[in-house]
Structure 1
């Protein structure tokens, strides 16, 4: 556990569920993700709110809230809360630099391994860039999981050939930066 009272895997899952709720195609789906997040957090006597002014997910102890309002006098130790920025950091220049970096990696995979792998890699870097403004080598295991389970099947429109090799494509992309795919065992 970190200095806050939540296990790191609970924090990661709460963030993942929040992002899924934001990207849900209908209100019922969004509500289901939000309810799942609340159930998960309630097991630890925590709750979540979105701080709108800076678009941050705040996970904090239930005891801080009375009648839906955070009671400042109940906050003894602010380190117990977890704050997770939901918006991409930085400005357009940051996005452009990340996009240029990631596009060069996709190009290197295309040159070495062909268009099927390149299409999968392009889908992954689009996901990373548009949702997190993140370079390939900075991707997390949770982001890879969201890409493979949610984004890829719904938004990449992969061919059967692409779908059959997507995990290998990610390995090739991460190899281009000298890394393993986060949270995934290396395929033989």
Structure 2
């Protein structure tokens, strides 16, 4: 099974590129983040013409996630069950042959010490709590998306200059590694 993920930063703007990319790279499932559109504006028909079914969880202007697939999605869940959130950041579904795909757009966090940073850390903890139970029910689970966190200094062009800056804090890296410690593996 071929899986891919892409933060497209507006599906309205990048739909032609997505369609071209899918034609050149026929993946089984593509997770999209940062759709920046409401569900009623989602281009299901254009994607269906390209051979892809789609499920989405949109939000006007910001956020939004989708899963595009060659086969139907089942057991679709939008957002993180048990975590109260107004943002459209997570969509998950099952695909044959028994793969659970979770597409996620992690919060940016703005800057360490801010309310948005606190929200980011709480959001990741909520995701981890939910994924712990999802992994029991779905041992073949893939978490894909835009994590907005670097695993370590090898992911940063200027580790010293970025130290303790957003995406590079010890707190964010701890939470990301705690997700992996649930039994996930970094595909990179």
TM-score (norm 2): 0.32
More helix by proportion, 1 or 2? Answer: 1
Structure having the higher Rg: 1
More strand by proportion, 1 or 2? Answer: 2
